[in-house]
Amino acid sequence: MTQQVKMAEGTALRQADFSNDTTVVGLLARNAKEIGSQVAVKEKDFGIWQEYTWQDYLDNSIYFAAGLEVLGFQAEEALLLIGDNRPDLYFGTVGVSALRGSPMPAYPDANPQEVLSFAHESRVRYAFVEDQEQVDKLLDLREEIGTLEYIIYSDPRGLAAYSAPGLVSYAEVIEKGQQAIQANPALYDDLVTRAQPSDAAIFVHSSGTTGKPKGVILKHRNVLAGVRNGFQGGSLEKNEVIMGYLPMAWIGDYAFTVAAGIALQWQLCIPEQQETLLRDMREIAPTFYLAAPRSWDNMLTNIQVGMQDAPRFKKAVYHYFMDLGFKVEKKRFEGQAPSLWERINRVVGEFFVYGPIKDAMGLSRIRTAYTGGEAMGEDTFLFYRSLGVALRQLYGQTESSAFNSTQSKDEVRLHTAGKPLPGVIVKIDESGELLLKSESNFEGYYENEKATVETLVDGWLHTGDAGYLEEDGHIVVLGRLSEVVYTAKGERFIPNYIENRIKFSPYVKDVAVLGRDRDELCAMVCIDIDAVGNWAELQGISYISYADLSQKPTVYDLVRDAIAHVNETLPEPLQIKRFSNLHKEFDPDDGEITRTRKLRRKVVEERYTDVIEALYSDKKEVTVKAQITYDTGETGTIERNLSIREV
Amino acid sequence: MFYRQAGVHHSNYKTDSALFPIPFDKWSIYTMLALGIFAPAIFGSFALTSYLLPWMIWAGAALSLNLLIGWAGQFHFGYAAVMSIGGYTAIHATLAGIPFEIALILAGLMSMVVGVIFGAAAMRVKGLYLALATLAMQFVVDWVLTHVPAIGGGASATLQAPDMTLLGFKITSEVGYYYVAFGWLLLVTLFLLNMRRTGFGRALVAVREKDYAASILGVNSFYFKSVAFAVSSFMGGVSGAILVFCFYHAVTPEQFTVNVSIQLLAMVIVGGLGSIIGSYFGAAFILLLPGALNTLVAYVSELLGLQIGIETLAHLPNLFYGILIIGFLLYEPLGLAKVYDNIRKYLMVWPFGYSKR
């Protein structure tokens, strides 16, 4: 590997019509003035898409800010936000930043400890939550948090009888805000202009694959610099239609749905519930779609499961055109042009297979599709490319406002993450770590001097990712620096890379590849209950639970085939030799994966020591004892026999 | 593969409740509508008057009957009698100098009154007994038509239909008759499309599924059965009048015998109970297939040089026709509409299979 290139910088293709020397609120006010009557936000509710114009967006945000101020909210304070995507919560996010406070979103399924650590960290006095479930969660924790004064809720259902002090509905806050502004009309403009570019726009947390999440405050000028870089580099377009479904606590949600959404005047469509996303997405057919590889994999699994049920003729047509699509994309990969026959077939296939599938998934209007957050399996990537979805890789970090580099539309390269955006400089240091310099970089972890010093050196952000630059400036990200693993024989490999390839199989939901300081590679597999369950149904195999299904010999055959298929493409020392199906899925509540579903390798390796030891012995079976904590607080243990299988 | 649904969404309830939310359905309907409107320009005079015109009229009649059988679940074996009342009323009214538009309404009203009187009596019984009671209506009406000269004009008499003037236009041409029939069919279709989703339509379905269960839910089944009889009879009466004025141009009792009632019933059942497009299919099947089979059998026997007696040749189409009907009822008891629905669903979920759960 020649690593001649040590530094790369992006070049601007065009100029953005905004600078980063402004605020998100300011840009929202610009939209309200320019296109105030156009629809900015849509939410599916009561069976139809309820609409909010840009003017509504601004009004709600400012009223919320004014109302919050009436309640005593101070500048530079944090507002804890918990809930699924709701217009109210987005209005609140922008509203708080208008008050020069920082919105601090947490995952809606966060467990009490996580919420507690967030709340303690910034001594929150105000929380804005979605519904009764979250209100209950906070009321339970209220004493432990200590500082919490007000809990604002968006959905009043089930809360009528609550009499806890400080419990206020969103509608009341808005009303207070309206009254304050009626009494003092100048307050409206004051709130629009009060926040400065150097004030906090969002307070997020790094995903924490390696430890406790660290607080990251991004300022208006950071996030807007990111958006500007993206626009100038041709990675983001104006006037897209997007789905607001990403977890609000992930930087990707703020960077795309709020910052880019407002700066580039995108229409935000919010599904009724997380569960109805697929159907709602089909109704909207967004033009822009960003998803973690996990979600793309999920969608692929849906398609594959659907095809399992299809009659033979449909299957034959599907496979003919999908195989062809794969072949053409592979050729493009290698830089060859498809033959005339293949091009004709692609057009026919668009009508018979690609088009209908895109239609069923709501992808038919996609102009811009990104995968980001972690590496994607090659087959998944090829699958969408052959459907005609111009899927691209995006590389970014929480600490740098999510936008660093993207591939351009016609680049079908799987292993790179594209060129740096204009305004971003990428450097590789001696240890092979990727360093970033950009206006979108943050200015230090929240109250964590030690981590800040380690991460930010002379304005260079140490990403913790191993990688290199290709000669034409493309970034190649190999994986987390801490995750590059050597076997006992000195073979260097990145478990994540192999895992993603295995996960292409619809039957595999999660997999942990092991092999650090061992002679060979083994794997622990979590089957996908939907796909395998459906398969079992078709085969007439009965099962009682996840654990039971996962241990069926025929299911082992399925998984073995999936792994063997991946092994074919791997060099001999990196082939997986043995595996075991686990009795449960990895669960963020157990700390095995993060809320964005990244594997916490350390935790997994510790928790499944027995299984790992057995995998590297010649046992055929291993008994695991798992301790479970019930909702009541009682604990119990379950014992399971897990089989071990050679590939 | 034709049915693309991505991007179809609504931000108000008005568009959300459109009749055809799927673009492909909407465009197929527009195409059919355009075909219907431009049919006189597309098809020759023969096809127009001997295929399309009767098809339109009978489809309208079948739809009217389908309301009663398919939606309200009440059998009617004497529907030809209902139509004959309409036909005779319209002729007598126009002969008496009443404008045609009003005569049409009178025709409907008269059928409605007689239909409801018989219906109310018949509804004291259910199921097969109701069917027999309605059959009785057929014979009573037949008897009245042939034995009361004031109505039927004397035994086996034929009453000529006078010229018709509709909304100020004198209608004398084939094209004119076609458009009158087409317009009536459109009206009936639109009415049924919308009725399906009104409270009235849903109450009828409830009564059809189980009348006493509907009563328990607060749906007055006797009331809705009577209304169904009334509405269906009204539409049947107008259809009868249109049939007489646009197609036969005269009226005799032979046009509305019990055979016709059975044929109408066959249209509804072969087409599909409670299906609008099914009534179109059913009418086409029952009306046009015998003719098509005749031509086909003659053609095939000539092609193969078969020496078939003229007698056998005349009966063979009937044989195939019977086989086809039996076949349909055997393999797709839900009628032609279900066949269409199956094809539509196959394409709708393409390339996926039907979801099994």
pLDDT in tens, B163-202: 777 787 777 788 889 999 999 999 999 999 999 999 999 9
Please say whether the beta carbons of A521 and A513 come within 8 A.
Answer: yes
Question: Phi, psi at residue A56, to the nearest 5°?
Answer: -60, -40
What is the rounded average pLDDT of the residues A184-200? 93
Bridge partners (DSSP) of residue B41 are none
| Cβ <8 Å between A48 and B13 | yes
ipTM above 0.85, yes or no: no
Helix axes B79-95, B258-271, angle to 10 degrees: 120
Q: Which chain B residue's Cα is nearest to A350?
A: B1
Q: Which DSSP symbol is given to B353?
A: P
The answer, for A360 touching chain B at a CB cutoff of 8 Å, is yes
Mean pLDDT (chain B) is 87
What is the rounded average pLDDT of the residues A608-618? 88
The predicted model scores a pTM of 0.84
Cα distances from A40 to residues A59, A87, A193, A349, in angstroms, run 12, 10, 21, 35
Tokens of A498: 């192999």
Please say whether the beta carbons of A161 and A185 come within 8 A.
Answer: no
Which helix H or strand E contains B198, and what residues bound it? none
For residues A556 and A579, what is the distance between their CA atoms, to the nearest angstrom?
A: 9
What is the rounded average pLDDT of the residues A123-152? 92
Least confident window among A135-149, A464-478, B90-104: A464-478
Q: Identify which of A309, A437, A321, A330 has the alpha carbon closest to the alpha carbon of residue A381.
A: A330
- Give the minimum alpha-carbon distance from B277 to chain A in angstroms, rounded to a whole number: 26
| Residue A203: predicted pLDDT | 93
Residue A1, pLDDT > 60, answer no
Q: Where are the domains positioned within chain B?
A: 21-256
| Cβ <8 Å between A309 and B356 | yes
Radius of gyration of chain A from its Cα atoms, rounded to whole angstroms: 25
For residues A358 and B121, what is the distance between their CA atoms, to the nearest angstrom?
A: 58
| Cβ <8 Å between A351 and B1 | yes
Q: Who has greater pLDDT, A358 or A1?
A: A358
The answer, for A307 touching chain B at a CB cutoff of 8 Å, is yes
Tokens of B229: 């009889």
Q: Which DSSP symbol is given to A593?
A: B
What is the rounded average pLDDT of the residues B128-151? 85
What is the SS3 assignment for A379? helix
Bridge partners (DSSP) of residue A42 are A51, A269
| Terminal C-alpha separation, chain B | 22
Amino acid identity of A10?
G
What are chain A's domains? Answer: 24-195+238-287 (3.40.50.12780), 291-364+367-482 (3.40.50.12780), 486-646 (3.30.300.30)
What is the rounded average pLDDT of the residues B282-299? 85
pLDDT in tens, A570-610: 888 888 989 999 988 888 888 888 877 888 888 888 888 88
| Residue A187: predicted pLDDT | 94
Residue B317, pLDDT > 80, answer no
Our CA angle for A220, A236, A33, nearest 5°, is: 60
What is the SS3 assignment for A233? coil
The answer, for A202 touching chain B at a CB cutoff of 8 Å, is no
- Distance, CA of A296 to chain centre: 11
What is the rounded average pLDDT of the residues B83-101? 89
Alpha helices in A495-608 (DSSP H): 495-502, 529-539, 546-550, 553-567, 601-607
Q: Are strands A241-243 and A267-270 parallel, antiparallel or unpaired?
A: parallel
What is the rounded average pLDDT of the residues A253-278? 93
pLDDT in tens, A56-89: 999 999 999 999 999 999 988 999 999 999 999 9
Cα distances from A90 to residues A61, A67, B350, in angstroms, run 8, 16, 38
CB-CB: which of B1, B11, B353 is closest to A356?
B1
Residue A3, pLDDT > 60, answer no
Provide, rounded to the nearest whole percent, the portion of chain A with pLDDT above 70: 97
Question: Phi, psi at residue B342, to the nearest 5°?
Answer: -60, -45
Our CA angle for A109, A261, A177, nearest 5°, is: 75
Q: Counting every residue, how long is chain A?
A: 647
What is the rounded average pLDDT of the residues A329-337? 83
| Residue A151: predicted pLDDT | 95
What is the rounded average pLDDT of the residues A134-152? 92
Question: Look-up: residue for tokens 């033009």?
Answer: A287
For residues A8 and A485, what is the distance between their CA atoms, to the nearest angstrom?
A: 27
Prior bond of B351 cis (ω within 30°): yes
For residues A508 and A559, what is the distance between their CA atoms, to the nearest angstrom?
A: 7
pLDDT in tens, A527-538: 999 889 988 988
For residues A604 and A184, what is the distance between their CA atoms, to the nearest angstrom?
A: 57
**Contacts with A352 from chain B: Cβ below 8 Å:** 1, 351
Provide, rounded to the nearest whole percent, the portion of chain B with pLDDT above 90: 34
Q: Are strands A645-646 and A576-581 parallel, antiparallel or unpaired?
A: antiparallel
The answer, for B14 touching chain A at a CB cutoff of 8 Å, is no
Residue A272, pLDDT > 80, answer yes
What is the rounded average pLDDT of the residues B212-232? 90
Mean pLDDT (chain A) is 88
For residues A266 and A230, what is the distance between their CA atoms, to the nearest angstrom?
A: 14
| Residue A2: predicted pLDDT | 44
| Cβ <8 Å between B7 and A365 | yes
What is the rounded average pLDDT of the residues A150-175? 93
The answer, for A283 touching chain B at a CB cutoff of 8 Å, is yes
- Give the minimum alpha-carbon distance from B354 to chain A in angstroms, rounded to a whole number: 7
Please say whether the beta carbons of A460 and A436 come within 8 A.
Answer: yes
Residues 6+ apart with CB under 8 A from A151: A127, A129, A135, A138, A139, A164, A166, A167, A168
| Residue B321: predicted pLDDT | 80
Q: Which value, to the nearest 10 degrees, does the dihedral of the CA atoms of residues B119, B123, B129, B133 take?
A: -20
